[in-house]
A = this chain, B = another copy of it.
């Protein structure tokens, strides 16, 4: 607590500074067996250990060009306990190297349960700097997470509108004159209003799919809301789709995973230099986005 009094930067200010210096790319560390270089996994006892070696190499090659990392925990849960050990180790590795790590867990449950989830993912084995969360259970269910945000050291991104086709079924439903996701966005802003950092953005932000209309609408209504934008690259969105999320080249991070982790695919030296290809793919993505902003 008393974070600003202590003079230390809030986590949202650290993220903002990283975007200023290194651009808005958020690298999704979402390995799959198919994304690993040819023959890579055979060198390890199991797939989880291969993921860990892969992640370490990717992080080392990209730490100075990305804003942050996002780990989709489902990719690790799918490998059971061994996968979650890799999740833990990757988070620790990023944070030990002064990187910023987002745990993409999208947890959401009633307050007494949420307190256990907050403990699980804001401290202990799976400690991340930011979490993605599901807001659908309302204010009392998110309070245990906001308790950690209050310290200044943690932040959260609530799912406001996803980037998949099914997002239209509920998130776009018209409720009292506006789509459901705008009700959610308003509530998310209210939750985070008191956690605005020096950078002018709140440590409580929103996950918004790379849809230009949605990004423009939410960006205009909530200019101090930091946005986490998935959908770039392999999921189909391009630089012009995500540009409306950014203001003065900041205020959002743009997620890409497959297009960067798999940048080595089809290259003769890809298996050997996969990490360099990932580094290069981040630079290319950064340039594509910056072109759309100037």
Interface residues of A (CB under 8 A from B): 72, 74-75, 77-81, 84-85, 88, 106-111, 113-114, 116-117, 119-121, 124-126, 134-142, 159, 162-171, 173-176, 180, 183-184, 187
A117 to B180, CA, bound (A): 26
The 10 closest A-B pairs by CB, nearest first: A138-B166, A80-B125, A77-B120, A74-B116, A138-B169, A78-B116, A110-B164, A175-B175, A173-B175, A78-B119
A63 to B244, CA, bound (A): 56
CB neighbours of A84 from chain B (8 A): 81, 84
| Binding site secondary structure of chain A | helix
User: Which partner residue on chain B sits nearest A117 by CB separation?
Assistant: B74
User: Which partner residue on chain B sits nearest A142 by CB separation?
Assistant: B166
Interface contact A164-B136, CB-CB below 8 Å: no
CB neighbours of A88 from chain B (8 A): 80-81
CB neighbours of A166 from chain B (8 A): 111, 137-142
A165 to B116, CA, bound (A): 18
Interface contact B120-A138, CB-CB below 8 Å: no
Q: Give which listed residue, B119, B164, B169, B180, contacts A170 with CB less than 8 A.
A: B180
Decide: A77 near B140, CB < 8 A? Known: A108-B134, A170-B180, A174-B175. no
A180 to chain B minimum Cβ distance, whole angstroms, is 7
CB neighbours of A171 from chain B (8 A): 136-138
Q: Give which listed residue, B77, B142, B170, contacts A117 with CB less than 8 A.
A: B77
Q: A72-B113, A173-B180, A180-B180 are in contact. List 17 more A-B contacts (CB 8 A).
A: A72-B109, A72-B116, A74-B120, A77-B117, A77-B121, A78-B117, A81-B81, A81-B85, A137-B162, A138-B167, A138-B168, A140-B164, A141-B164, A141-B166, A173-B175, A173-B176, A174-B176
A-B contact pairs, 29 of them (CB 8 A): A72-B113, A74-B109, A74-B120, A77-B117, A78-B117, A78-B119, A79-B120, A80-B88, A80-B125, A80-B126, A81-B84, A81-B88, A81-B125, A84-B84, A106-B109, A108-B108, A110-B164, A134-B136, A137-B164, A138-B164, A138-B166, A138-B170, A140-B166, A141-B162, A142-B166, A170-B187, A173-B183, A174-B175, A180-B180
Interface contact B106-A108, CB-CB below 8 Å: yes
CB neighbours of A75 from chain B (8 A): 113, 116
User: Which partner residue on chain B sits nearest A171 by CB separation?
Assistant: B136
